[in-house]
Amino acid sequence: MATVAMMARPQRWDAPLSPDMTDDDVADLLRRNPIAKIKSDKFPEHTPLEGILRNDTRIVAHRAGDIVVRSGDYGNSAFIVLEGRLRVVIAPDLPADLLGRQDVAKKGFFEALAQLWTNRRVPEVRDVRRYDRTGVREGRDKAQSVVFLQDVPVVLEKHQTAVLAEGALFGELAALGRIPRTATVFAETDAKLLEIRWQGLREIRKYDEGFRRAIDERYRENALKVALRETPEFGHLDEDALQEVANSVLFETHGSFDWYITYQKMRGAGKQGAAHEPVIAREGDYPDGVLMVRAGFARVSIKMGNGDRTVAYLGAGKHFGMSELFDSWRSQGTEPLQASLTALGYVDLLRVPAPILEKYVFPTLTERPRSPVEIARNRTLSDDALLEWAVDGRFINGTKTMLIDLERCVRCDDCVRACSSTHGGNPRFIRHGRTFDHWMVANACMHCADPVCMIGCPTGAIHRTEQGGMVVINDATCIGCGTCANSCPYDNIRLVEIRDLDGNLLLDRDTQRPIQKATKCDLCATNPGGPACVRACPHDALRRVDFDTEEVFRGASS
């Protein structure tokens, strides 16, 4: 990397979603609804609609019974039904095992105790007899493997479903809005779908008004009001007022959906900090509305010296610009923004216009909202150094970050031993990681608020449990493609070669290569009592922290 060489600048469509899209496919698509309704002349020269269709979409064939999307999964694609009939499950949702997820059944006390002598010395032993029940069909490319329902009529009988016919668009909320899939969709008959990845979706939405309106309408209807009702600012409003608010709110997304890829590259090149992040609002500009973060993280920073000082970070539910707008309203003047707002990875915002605030919010406030900059004035650079580092390392994403106090840790590895004792003798984290002052963030899954590892899992083996909200991997359905391991920006997922009960490596019949499975910390989901590592540390050095609530890292955030 240090050498200087000539190379062509990377292009947007250097890596198409599928190399198999032909011009004929594109032409065919342009004739179908709803694509036919899109006005292609609105698209700029450098991103023509045909280009989008060719590079950001692909045609996916499903057999009857295949599960297309699972409720709760994170996804980065939307789908349009081209042929066939699909069903979306309304109620009750399909059981976990049908979806290819594992049943998180906690062991009883004595079963957990029995691990003391039943754990194996040989690493990563699996009882392959457990694997046979799953319905996983592997594709030619591992990433195209899919879970299928073995008995569709029974499912139709037991669960209330709705039909998705030709031309139906679904999955765009998850792709654009970074929320989990709201429902499970499976193919009732053999079907052909057009899968549009989020990049293409964003472009289409950007340039085609009809599409945008359609998507936004659906979002406003289905998700926005619910989200607004959960905020403290608008939660008390009646239905009409809420409708008015919902109608006037603007949506914005900043940063890239798969920010982890660019993030890793940038970090490798040493480019970190607000200067390299997409700017949402600039210090000194005049705000026209408050920005409310709906998903993702944003950095609040002010210029200091030759750099930018992070004052706070905002996660879901936090807002930016409230104090400046309030002061403007009070003084009937215009107050500029005291700080800049940049996107940490991917951030989804709502912009609530000032008139709405003046009508519904400000009159109800009893005291003036303080801006994080004001709070930061009383803090020194040393006070916030830890915060800077954590934000740069994107550790703010974690809800269960493993934090080790190096001044207490005696390096005894009792935590690793405890972890391995709850996982059949196999540890699920490594006691090394980035350090700052006397803190170490160890390589253990942080169970992120924004779990980028889950994006792209072909079988949904990596999923979020309903009970605890922890991110776990279903060993049975994992096909070892490595998508999650490569996605994780913190290197917290590892692939292991599994062995049978006699200790021999299990080899794939076809390729003669060892079968691998993805593994990571699962917060001891199947063990009683919660994470064993925390229990095991004799010096209280190890904690699983949520950065949002951890005082040490809050900095000036309120």
Residue 248 CA to residue 351 CA, distance in Å, equals 9
Nearer of residues 251 and 429 to other proteins, judged by Cβ: 429
Please list every residue from 382 through 421 that binds other proteins, using CB under 8 A: 406-414, 416-418, 420-421
Nearer of residues 416 and 473 to other proteins, judged by Cβ: 416
Nearer of residues 222 and 435 to other proteins, judged by Cβ: 435
Matching residue, tokens 């450098």: 46
* Least distance between other proteins and beta carbon 424 (Å): 11
Nearer of residues 72 and 433 to other proteins, judged by Cβ: 433
10 Å Cβ neighbour count for 64? 15
Size of residue set near other proteins by CB under 8 A: 66
| 146-147/136-137 β-pairing | antiparallel
Q: How many residues does the chain have?
A: 558
Residue 28 CA to residue 43 CA, distance in Å, equals 19
Which DSSP category does 456 fall into? Answer: T
| 86-91/542-545 β-pairing | unpaired
- The two structure tokens encoding residue 43: 């698209």
Please list every residue from 20 through 79 that binds other proteins, using CB under 8 A: none
Q: Which stretch binds other proteins (CB under 8 A): 62-70, 213-221, 423-431, 460-468?
A: 423-431
* 477 φ/ψ angles, rounded to the nearest 5 degrees: -95, -10
- Tell me the longest C-alpha to C-alpha distance in the chain: 78
Nearer of residues 345 and 427 to other proteins, judged by Cβ: 427
Please list every residue from 481 through 540 that binds other proteins, using CB under 8 A: 485, 488, 491-496, 503, 507, 510-514, 527-530, 532-540
Q: Work out whether 116 is an interface residue with other proteins (CB under 8 A).
A: yes
CB 520 within 8 A of CB 494: yes
* Least distance between other proteins and beta carbon 264 (Å): 10
Residue 338 CA to residue 285 CA, distance in Å, equals 9
Residue 301 CA to residue 282 CA, distance in Å, equals 9
Please list every residue from 316 through 375 that binds other proteins, using CB under 8 A: none
* Least distance between other proteins and beta carbon 539 (Å): 6
| 185-187/279-281 β-pairing | unpaired
* Least distance between other proteins and beta carbon 470 (Å): 17
Please list every residue from 430 through 489 that binds other proteins, using CB under 8 A: 430-435, 438, 440, 443, 485, 488
Q: Work out whether 100 is an interface residue with other proteins (CB under 8 A).
A: no
Q: Which of 487, 486, 409, 485 is nearest to 441 (CA)?
A: 409
Query: ∠ CA(163), CA(168), CA(170), 5° rounding?
Result: 90
Residue 68 CA to residue 190 CA, distance in Å, equals 12
Cα-Cα-Cα-Cα dihedral sign, residues 467, 468, 470, 472:
negative
Nearer of residues 178 and 428 to other proteins, judged by Cβ: 428
* Least distance between other proteins and beta carbon 186 (Å): 32
Of 48, 317, 425, 468, the one binding other proteins (CB under 8 A) is 425
CB 147 within 8 A of CB 459: yes
Nearer of residues 473 and 537 to other proteins, judged by Cβ: 537
Binding mask 160-199 for other proteins (x = CB under 8 A): ----------------------------------------
* Least distance between other proteins and beta carbon 426 (Å): 7
Binding site for other proteins (CB under 8 A): 109, 112-113, 115-116, 121-123, 406-414, 416-418, 420-422, 425-435, 438, 440, 443, 485, 488, 491-496, 503, 507, 510-514, 527-530, 532-541
